[in-house]
């Protein structure tokens, strides 16, 4: 599993669905593990401690509703039900049992990825804020919205802070340009991606990063950006 990537448990027995879905989620920055039965899903949920579960309702050895009941008995992991059952009664039951969202098949992998991010954002917003993130000599205080490097305060704009916070939360993993624009500039953003490059350039200057040989903010051309992982910075 790549460091910094979000872990997703996909509970679905149809390979024609899981194969393209897992590949699409990987492109969106998620590590997905597949469980094909109710029993396997509960075992993997306990062992892997995923950050979110995508749950089909029709499984070979039981109902997804039973899986959801058991998950809610022992865990607060976010759950998105993904099912061909579009009836209002099924939606109501799923949500009342504790599902965080309900997606009807057929669906696009891109829509599911957007739903996953929306649920994770909501869960993170409701959770108590941690003191901050510290990687190398860079410390980001989420409560106070401040950043220091080597103990010296950096003056960041609101978007620069949000951009750095997202990259540092997923340090070591590449975050796609599309996701950065969606999460930092909101899902309604349809403008030029030039603004993202401008903000990354500004962050590099404030961090004292050399764009030709960056220590902190790395570019994967045509894909996105990555904040160096803790091990990388310790080695320098």
- At which of 92, 126, 160 does a domain end? 126
- Per the domain annotation, does 1 fall within a domain? no
Chain-wide mean pLDDT for the chain?
A: 86
Interatomic CA distance for residues 162 and 94, integer angstroms: 33
Q: What is the pLDDT of residue 33?
A: 95
Q: Give burial (CB, 10 Å; 0-12/13-18/19+) of 230.
A: middle
Average pLDDT of the segment spanning 177-192: 70
Q: Which residue has the higher pLDDT, 14 or 4?
A: 14
Q: What is the pTM of this model?
A: 0.57
Are 82 and 56 members of one domain?
yes
Are 10 and 103 in a shared domain? yes
Q: Is residue 184 part of a domain?
A: yes
Q: Which of 71-85, 124-138, 186-200 has the highest mean pLDDT?
A: 71-85
- Token pair recorded at residue 234: 């310790």
Cα–Cα distance, 61 to 84 (Å, whole number): 17
State the pLDDT confidence band at 158, using cuts at 50, 70 and 90.
Answer: confident
Where is the domain boundary, 126, 153, 172? Answer: 126
Span 12-27, mean pLDDT?
91
Predicted confidence (pLDDT) per residue in 78-110, tens digit: 999 998 888 888 888 988 888 989 998 888 888
Q: What angle do CA 162, 32, 83 make, to 5 degrees?
A: 100
- In terms of residue numbers, what domain contains 139? 133-235
Are 35 and 105 found together in one domain? yes
Length of the chain: 236
- How far is the C-alpha of 58 from the C-alpha of 86, rounded, in Å? 13
> Structurally, how many domains does the chain consist of?
2
Pick the last residue of a domain from 94, 126, 158: 126
């Amino acid at each position: 599993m790549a460091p910094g990537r979000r872990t997703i448990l996909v509970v679905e027995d149809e390979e024609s669905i899981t194969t393209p879905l897992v590949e699409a989620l990987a492109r969106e920055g998620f590590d997905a593990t597949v469980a094909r039965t109710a029993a396997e899903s509960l075992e993997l949920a306990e062992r892997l401690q995923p950050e979110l579960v995508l749950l089909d309702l029709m499984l070979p050895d039981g109902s997804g509703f039973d899986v959801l009941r058991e998950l809610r008995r022992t865990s607060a992991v976010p759950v998105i039900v993904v099912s061909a059952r579009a009836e209002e009664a099924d939606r109501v039951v799923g949500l009342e049992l504790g599902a965080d969202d309900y997606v009807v098949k057929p669906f696009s992998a891109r829509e599911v990825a957007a739903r996953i991010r929306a649920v994770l954002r909501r869960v993170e917003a409701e959770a108590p804020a941690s003191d901050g993130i510290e990687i190398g000599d860079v410390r980001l205080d989420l409560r106070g919205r401040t950043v220091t490097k080597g103990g010296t305060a950096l003056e960041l704009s609101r978007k620069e802070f949000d951009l750095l916070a997202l990259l540092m939360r997923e340090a070591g993993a590449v975050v796609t340009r599309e996701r950065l624009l969606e999460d930092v500039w909101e899902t309604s953003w349809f403008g030029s991606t030039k603004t993202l490059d401008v903000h990354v350039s500004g962050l590099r200057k404030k961090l004292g990063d050399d764009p030709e040989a960056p220590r902190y903010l790395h570019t994967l051309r045509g894909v996105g950006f990555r904040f160096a992982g803790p091990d990388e910075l310790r080695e320098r």
